[in-house]
Structure 1
């Protein structure tokens, strides 16, 4: 993020992975949290795609919206083991960035209403506060209504 000129700061806090609780520890509204969920979508009979869905911390992911977006036939949260493999981190510490070509990054556009987004920094006791426009520039998510 330094090399890209991103405006961010690190926040140390007690270990926590639940959105409401970690938002309170970090001192911000849960709407500013970038909640990251990994979803499996069946497309046809033989193809499975995975999505890293990023939504505001106070919102619920609309699985049917993700299924429609990918023109899928079935949708569910990915198995924990598969999600951790694709994310490269354990549950509760998933970053709102995809580093695996098998994991499509989709962010809800309502996140853009926030000047700054907060997310765990790959571990439960450290978070990042990142300027929203820098997040969009660096992560290049597909923006789609998924809440």
Structure 2
């Protein structure tokens, strides 16, 4: 038997909250902008989830699942500072996919690995509901923010910056 993938884990977490979420089926899409259009919601309600490698010492590092509003970008400098790191960069695709059990473009805002810290930008949490790919490119979830916070238990900090023009 294979270990559960991200979609199976997410649905297992949310089954106790049937009124808090909706599954949205759509054509396969990994771009935050395009997926938001398919799901028919404002881009700022999309939970864009990216795995970041923070260099915390000469030979030490920490992986962080950074979640920001879809219309913003991860502020790598702020993220490195939050962890007392020297630098932060996006993790290699193979590492991100291994840690999240998801293909790139479908990473959900949940940390299922002990090697991965979950850090969410406070600007995403001002909405009643957030949207995200559910570990698959063809399925998304709309989830009430209070329920997301209770289930995911993320750390929250200002880690987003405007997208450069």
In structure 2, what is the equivalent of residue 139 of structure 1? 152
3-state SS, counterpart of residue 60 of structure 1: strand
Q: Does 1:76 align with 2:89?
A: yes
Provide the rounded CA distance (Å) in 1 between the counterparts of 2:110 and 2:32.
17
Match for 1:98 among 111, 123, 126? 111
In structure 1, what is the equivalent of residue 52 of structure 2? 39
How many residue pairs match? The answer is 147
In structure 2, what is the equivalent of residue 114 of structure 1? 127
**How far apart are residue 104 of structure 1 and its match?**
0.2
Q: Does 1:124 align with 2:137?
A: yes
**How far apart are residue 3 of structure 1 and its match?**
2.0
3-state SS, counterpart of residue 73 of structure 2: coil
Match for 1:67 among 71, 80, 85? 80
TM-score (norm 2): 0.87
Provide the rounded CA distance (Å) in 2 between the counterparts of 1:67 and 1:143.
15
Provide the rounded CA distance (Å) in 1 between the counterparts of 2:106 and 2:24.
14
Distance 1:13 1:43, change over 3 A: same
Cα deviations by residue, 1:30-71 (Å, 9 ceiling, x for unpaired):
100000000001111121100000000001110000000000
Provide the rounded CA distance (Å) in 2 between the counterparts of 1:15 and 1:44.
39
Cα deviations by residue, 1:106-128 (Å, 9 ceiling, x for unpaired):
00011111110000111111100
CA RMSD, Structure 1 to Structure 2 (Å): 1.0
In structure 1, what is the equivalent of residue 62 of structure 2? 49
**Structure 2: unaligned runs, 5 residues or longer:** 1-13, 161-165
**Structure 1: unaligned runs, 5 residues or longer:** none
Cα deviations by residue, 1:89-144 (Å, 9 ceiling, x for unpaired):
11011110000011000000111111100001111111000001100110010001
Q: Which runs of 4+ in 1 moved over 3 A?
A: none
TM-score (norm 1): 0.97
